[in-house]
Structure 1
Amino acid sequence: MSEDAQDVVLIVEDEPAILMVLSHYLADQGYRVLQAENGEQAFEILASKPHLDMMITDYRLPGGITGVQIAEPAVKLRPELKVIFISGYPQEIRETESPITLKAPILEKPFDLDRLQELMQEMLS
């Protein structure tokens, strides 16, 4: 992948260890990684970065906001944005009955990093 052809991925995850592992892994795979630890940071990035290919977001986040509440307006503003939810509580995501949860994959924590990479490649190709 050439430097200017990198896919840009926003990871929204409040657990520092998980955020670090995902960020390092995806950067090593050739992705340009942006990080947010909460909804506020995610919305700042979404508002300030003109180009994003994918968002990987936890469901339960601090401050009373969920990954679904971040993803819904993000996809309205950027219909081409791909979303993957990650959560230890995947049923909670499905129970929101948000239209985005019918399309976006949900990976249950803990998940295999190679499975995440395969899913990302399928969605971005």
Structure 2
Amino acid sequence: MSEDAQDVVLIVEDEPVILMLLADYLSGLGYRVLQAENGEQAFEILASKPHLDMMITDYRLPGGITGVMIAEPAVKLRPDLKVIFISGYAAEIRESGSPITLTAPILEKPFDLNTLQEKIQEMLS
């Protein structure tokens, strides 16, 4: 991936170790990574950044916010935004009733980083 054609990925994850691991991994693959530890930070980034290619979000976040609550308005504002949900509670995502969960992939924690990379490449190609 060339420097001038970097895909921008927002990671929303409240567990600092997982956030750091994902950010380091995706940066190493050549993605430009933005990080949010909670819904408030995610909404601030979404409101301020004109370009995002993908959002990878945990489902359960602090303050009763879910990844679906962030993804739904984000996709309405940015119809081309790709979303991947990551969670130890994949069934909760499916049971949320949100239309976005019918199309967005759900990776159940723990997942293999190569699986994440393949899913990202498939969705952004």
TM-score between the two structures when normalised by the length of structure 1? 0.99
1:27-69 CA distance string (max 9 Å, x none): 0000000000000000000000000000000000001100000
Distance in 2 between the 1:80 and 1:45 partners?
17
Distance in 2 between the 1:25 and 1:111 partners?
13
Compute the displacement of 1:81 (Å). 0.0
Task: Tell me, yes or no, if structure 1 residue 61 matches structure 2 residue 61.
Answer: yes
Task: Tell me, yes or no, if structure 1 residue 70 matches structure 2 residue 70.
Answer: yes
Percent of aligned pairs sharing the same letter: 86
State the AA in 2 paired with 1:109.
K
State the AA in 1 paired with 2:15.
E
Q: What are the ranges of 5 or more consecutive residues in structure 2 without an aligned counterpart?
A: none
1:74-93 CA distance string (max 9 Å, x none): 00000000000000000000
Partner of 2:39: 39
Distance in 2 between the 1:56 and 1:33 partners?
10
Partner of 1:88: 88
Q: What are the ranges of 5 or more consecutive residues in structure 1 without an aligned counterpart?
A: none
Give the aligned length. Answer: 125
Distance in 2 between the 1:25 and 1:8 partners?
14
Distance in 2 between the 1:74 and 1:100 partners?
11
Aligned runs of 1:4-15 on 2, under 5 Å? 4-15=4-15
SS of 2:80 mapped into structure 1: coil
Partner of 2:110: 110
Partner of 1:51: 51
State the AA in 2 paired with 1:75.
V
